[in-house]
Amino acid sequence: MKSSRLLVIIFSGLMIVASPSLAKPGGQGDAERAFSCMDSCHIGSSGTDSAATINIELDRERVFTGQLISLSIKTSGMELSKKGLVGVFLLSNDGSALDDWKVVQDPNGGNNNYVEKPVFSSTQGATFTWILQAPDTTGNYSIDAAVHHGVDPNPEEYAYLGRLTTPLQIEVEPMPEDLPRFSEDWKPTSSRDLGDETTIIIETEDTDDLIVEWRTDSSETILEAPLTKQSDGAWSFTLPASSVESNLTWRAKLSNPALEEITPWFTLSSSKPDYDIDELALMIQAIAGGILAAAIAIAMQRRFARPAQKGGML
């Protein structure tokens, strides 16, 4: 009996001291992150170099304070995990998250400097496009990019890390007076449910005229959206519904007699409505299921688990 107790104690002890696995090959999720693998999904600083080539592209030659710009990271040639998930960081030169630049729309429709997307072909790679708002102060800024992924198979659980060879240098100039632009607090709509039309209201500054163009990701044809003037400097337009999961992109051409400004392409994703459930209802349903299961199990015990000689069989 003593040895039995000892074994039970040893078993229990082994279960308690077993170190938990923290591997997250499913990724870490989009977030505001600095380039550090310490809180990442693999083995901290023991990552290894990625074979990825990384290029960074800016959609314009001159950048003004507060202007909306589009920045694309093109990466290819990387090793790929079974899931093909690749994480891309947009960083300051020191590896911290972008502080001076405001992320207006990330490649997944959020506002993060780190995003993850599945990449299906290492050769073709993928392009991750951010829409950023330039800093309010002029000066020279440096934007760096890094990628983060796994490999299949990955017995050592290495994190493969790649970084841009030369960070992109951007000189932010003072915004010209009267540059037509969106109002400071405008935010893009990034997603919608399938089958829903989307009406977007744009508030502008120093803008006399506005043209909105849109296209689907399956077609290069650019169409013009009819505009409705809401008030001075404010317009609305409606983008058509989509019946399949897809992306629609649109951009605005703002102008006044002196200047013209073309915004980056904003992305509007159509997807199935989110699975939404009342958590209270779920908890009640789950607890009810547990109690019902217990009731059935105890009923079976009382019905069948009795010796006939003792009586009481129902």
Partner 1 sequence: MVSAGTFHVVATELAVGTIALAGAMISLRLILSFREKHPSRLSELCDGTSLVCVVAGLCALPFAIITGVLAAPGDGLDNPLLFNKMLLSWVGIGLFSAWFYGRFSMGPNLWNYRPAAIIQGLIGLAACGSILTVASMGGKFSRGESLMGPMSKPLEYSVELGTTSSILVLIVSVAALVSVLKLMPQPYSMEFADNSLGDSEGIN
Residues 200-229 that bind partner 1 (CB under 8 A): none
Binding partner 1 (rule: CB under 8 A), the pick from 94, 185, 221, 281 is: 281
- 44 near partner 1, judged by CB under 8 A: no
Residues 248-277 that bind partner 1 (CB under 8 A): 274-277
- 245 near partner 1, judged by CB under 8 A: no
Instruction: Map residues 283-302 to x or -, x wherever contact with partner 1 holds by CB under 8 A.
Output: xxxxxxxxxxxxxxxxxxxx
25 or 233: whose CB is closer to partner 1?
25
Going by C-alpha positions, the residue among 86, 88, 59 that lies closest to residue 164 is 88
Binding partner 1 (rule: CB under 8 A), the pick from 8, 51, 201, 222 is: 8
22 or 51: whose CB is closer to partner 1?
22
Token pair recorded at residue 304: 């069948």
- 243 near partner 1, judged by CB under 8 A: no
Instruction: Map residues 132-161 to x or -, x wherever contact with partner 1 holds by CB under 8 A.
Output: ------------------------------
- 1 near partner 1, judged by CB under 8 A: yes
Instruction: Map residues 12-31 to x or -, x wherever contact with partner 1 holds by CB under 8 A.
Output: x--xx-x-xxx-xxx--x--
Residues 86 and 98: their CA atoms lie apart, in Å, by 20
153 or 226: whose CB is closer to partner 1?
153
- 282 near partner 1, judged by CB under 8 A: yes
38 or 305: whose CB is closer to partner 1?
305
Compute the least distance from the CB of residue 111 to partner 1, in Å: 15
Compute the least distance from the CB of residue 88 to partner 1, in Å: 18
Q: 117: buried, middle or exposed (CB in 10 Å: 19+, 13-18, 0-12)?
A: middle
For partner 1 (CB under 8 A), the number of binding residues is 59
Residues 75-104 that bind partner 1 (CB under 8 A): 82-83
- 38 near partner 1, judged by CB under 8 A: no
- List residues binding partner 1 (CB under 8 A): 1, 3-5, 7-8, 11-12, 15-16, 18, 20-22, 24-26, 29, 82-83, 274-310, 312, 314
